[in-house]
Amino acid sequence: MASWSEFAADEPRLADGIRVLMQQYGPGFGYLATVRADGGPRVHPVSPVITDEGLFCFIIDSPKRRDLERDGRYALHSFPPEESDDEAYVAGHAHPVADQARVARLAARAGA
């Protein structure tokens, strides 16, 4: 599975469209689906951060974070715009960011 950066390099127009939909209200806004321990879905709103480095979410200690730590599969869906039926959906496998300099850089950019 391609990373966001690889996807954006291969499909820049599609990646830009997804970025626009995720950030249409200023900060990122979408719905994150994770897999609960019992195999069921869990959906929560999140504020994705999309940069040239990748697609990121700051997730505090919570059920959705524990879902991702246990089973990294996720789906992320944009919030629908008021003026159209456009939507964006991405899915993949989440990985924690251990590089604290990167976390600080992303947090400063996102105001997190």
Residues 6+ apart with CB under 8 A from 24: 78, 79, 81
**Are 12 and 5 contacting, i.e. CB atoms less than 8 angstroms apart?**
no
pLDDT tens, N- to C-terminus, the chain (112 residues):
778 889 999 999 999 999 999 999 888 899 999 999 999 999 999 999 998 888 999 999 999 999 999 999 999 999 888 888 899 999 999 999 989 999 998 888 777 5
pLDDT of residue 110: 74
Query: Distance (Å, rounded) from C-alpha 44 to C-alpha 34?
Result: 9
The closest of 54, 68, 40, 51 to 4, measured between CA atoms, is 54
